[in-house]
Amino acid sequence: MNFDLTEDQIMYRESAREFAEKRLFPVAEELDAKGEMPKELLQEAAEIGFFGLFAPEEYGGMAVDTLSYALIIEEISKACAGLAISMSVHNSLVIKAIEMYGTDEQKKEYLPKLAAGEIIGAYSLSEPNSGTDAGSLQCQAIAKGDDYIFNGTKSWVSTAQFAGIFIVFALTDPEKGSKGISAILVPNGIDGLTLGANEKKMGMKCSDTRELSFMDARVPKANLLGEENHGFKVALSLLDNGRIGIAAQSLGIAEAAYAEALKYSKERKQFGKTLSQFQAIQFKLADMATRIEATKLLVYQAAVLKDSGERHSKEISMAKLYASETANFVANEAVQIHGGYGYVKEYPVERYFRDARVTEIYEGTSEAQRMVISRDLLKD
């Protein structure tokens, strides 16, 4: 047993922390208010290598271990959770999927551009009527000649506007239900693909989220990722990757909200003493710090187990479940400690509170995580 980080892990964390503190935090409030992510900021992050975290070195990536990845996402999320979600999807879903299932041609075509951030990857599984029950999706990609013809609607696609490529899950054999789903690389901007308006979200406002509408959109068959009709397996195999990213993101939000609350409690005076001198506030801080410590251990353990080669979906779901609930608990208490000031945009805790909410929903709701955990425990 060893709880020390390696030198590389510390270095990655420091570089992410520096970027987060110097470049992200100062603009995060403005990005949130405008509800947009400047392309230049994505490029800056890409230049450090943050969009090639999981790409192999031969394709220009950094090929970091999962714990380093989690540490980076955690640091970025302390400043701007919206950028972290773009990074998480791009690295842990899109690059990972191409690395795991792509043909040599696909890897050569996409990985260098993705790793350099020349194109951003987006991931499209959910639909208006297919959320937690992902196997029930309806969007179709029917083979015709050398192409697939896409028809249908996908929803909640992060970073859709900037995406160069989408991994879209659609039915190539509608008769077979979830066994007729395929994962297909869909370039942005093709005829028949229309992006919806940016969703008006509660939090993560600087992250772009849109619907994709397909109407007879043609994609070459060469863009099939993995085997035809094996897309649902592809999606399931990526769940653990995505969940670690969201767990780390939740941890970052919680830590940032706690740090703000702790600082504020030392400054704010009522009844002649600082808030930090009241037990009611001390106990909130103690509970926040304790849950953060528990979260950190669960998240780091999940990351380390991910690299062990064996499946550890239960521990990863525990990390995602616990981290997201902690983020909401801590952000709520941080607003409470700030009182009225926590309810307005003068302090960042208002943003953390809004940003935290979705972590209990995306990449598998808390309910879906509990299903995974209990299924594993009760399987024999």
Partner 1 sequence: MDFDIKYKDFRDGVRAYCEEKIAPHAVEVDRDQFYSKEVHKIVNDKGWWGSIVPKKYGGLGLSTLEYAIIVEEISRICGSTGLTFAAHNSLGTFPIYAFGTEEQRKKYLPPGANGSLIAFGLTEPEAGSDAGGTKSKAEKTADGYILNGTKCWITSANVCDYAITTARTSDEGGVHGISSFVLEKGMKGFAAGKKENKLGCRGSDTAYLHMDDVKIPASHLLGNEGEGFKQFMITLDGGRISIGAMAIGLAQAAFELAVKYSESKIENGKPINRYQSIQFKIADMATRVEAARLMMYKTAWLKDNNHPFTKISAMCKLYASEACHFCTHEAIQILGLEGLTEKYPAERYFRDMKLCEIGEGTSEIQRIVIAREAIRELAGV
Q: Which residues bind partner 1 (CB under 8 A)?
A: 1-6, 9, 67, 262-263, 265-266, 276, 279, 282-283, 285-287, 289-291, 293-295, 297-298, 300-301, 304-305, 314-315, 318, 321-322, 367, 369-371, 373-375, 377-378
The structure tokens listed for 317 are 């779901």
Q: Would you call 199 a catalytic residue per the annotation?
A: no
Q: Which positions ≥6 away from 136 have C-beta within 8 Å? A: 129, 130, 177, 178
Strands 163-171 vs 120-124: parallel, antiparallel or unpaired: parallel
HSE on the CB side for 111, CA within 13 Å? 26
HSE on the CB side for 244, CA within 13 Å? 31
Is the CB of 57 or the CB of 287 nearer to partner 1?
Answer: 287
Is the CB of 30 or the CB of 367 nearer to partner 1?
Answer: 367
Is the CB of 103 or the CB of 276 nearer to partner 1?
Answer: 276
Measured from the CB of residue 65, what is the shortest distance to partner 1 in angstroms? 10
Q: Which positions ≥6 away from 37 have C-beta within 8 Å? A: 31, 82, 83, 86, 162, 206, 207, 208
342 burial (CB, 10 Å; 0-12 / 13-18 / 19+) is buried
Residue pair 112/60 in contact by the 8 Å Cβ criterion? yes
Position 63, amino acid: A
Q: Which positions ≥6 away from 15 have C-beta within 8 Å? A: 48, 72
153: left (phi over 0), alpha (psi -120 to 50) or beta: beta
For tokens 């690389």, the residue is 185
Is the CB of 66 or the CB of 77 nearer to partner 1?
Answer: 66
64: left (phi over 0), alpha (psi -120 to 50) or beta: beta
Measured from the CB of residue 321, what is the shortest distance to partner 1 in angstroms? 6
3-state secondary structure of 181: strand
Please pick, among 99, 199, 315, 363, the residue that the annotation labels catalytic: 363
Measured from the CB of residue 53, what is the shortest distance to partner 1 in angstroms? 18
The structure tokens listed for 271 are 């009844």
Position 333, amino acid: E
Position 62, amino acid: M
Is the CB of 163 or the CB of 305 nearer to partner 1?
Answer: 305
The structure tokens listed for 248 are 């780390």
Is the CB of 211 or the CB of 315 nearer to partner 1?
Answer: 315
Is the CB of 222 or the CB of 297 nearer to partner 1?
Answer: 297
Phi/psi at 289 (5° precision): -65, -40
Measured from the CB of residue 259, what is the shortest distance to partner 1 in angstroms? 8
Measured from the CB of residue 308, what is the shortest distance to partner 1 in angstroms? 8
Measured from the CB of residue 96, what is the shortest distance to partner 1 in angstroms? 21
Is the CB of 190 or the CB of 297 nearer to partner 1?
Answer: 297
Measured from the CB of residue 279, what is the shortest distance to partner 1 in angstroms? 7
Q: Cα–Cα distance between 49 and 42 in angstroms, integer?
A: 11
Measured from the CB of residue 203, what is the shortest distance to partner 1 in angstroms? 24
Residues annotated as catalytic (active site), given as ranges: 363
